[in-house]
Amino acid sequence: MARVHACLECGEGTSRDGEFCSDKCRSDWNNRRKQRGAELYDLYMAHRFDRATAKDLRVFQAINRMASNFRQEDRSERAGRQSWRRPSAVLDERPYLRSVTTRVRMGRMGG
Ligand SMILES: [Zn+2]
């Protein structure tokens, strides 16, 4: 049974701040996300903004394969603990992303 306030990184310590039990766990969590994010960045940007090339090179499939590899690492090295924040938590920190989504959706509906 998952503890409500378990550390996101180690899953054992009790979080002091709602997420992590120590500075080391916070650092380990963020460093892994930085490394994985950097690996994904160029491929995702090509997928989004250079679609012809990305399609030829099957970039989106590569992105999905990379995510599956990350998940496999989580299973083997983190006892399966999730290594990403809830999307609602990420979006709550970035309200400007929700307003853009709403504007685009309204634009399409209005057209
Ligand atoms: Zn911890």
What's the pLDDT at 98? 84
Secondary structure letter of residue 87 according to DSSP? H
Ligand 1 centroid, distance to 27 Cα (angstroms): 10
What's the predicted TM-score (pTM) here?
A: 0.78
Q: Residue 32: phi, psi to the nearest 5?
A: -65, -45
Alpha carbon separation from 9 to 13, 25, 76, 103 (Å, rounded)? 9, 6, 14, 36
pLDDT(3) > 50:
no
40 Cα–ligand 1 center, Å: 26
**Residue found by looking up tokens 């685009």 in the block:** 104
CA angle, corner 103, sides to 102 and 104, nearest 5?
95
pLDDT in tens, 80-109: 999 999 899 899 999 999 875 555 555 555
Q: How far is the CA of 15 from the centre of ligand 1 (A)?
A: 7
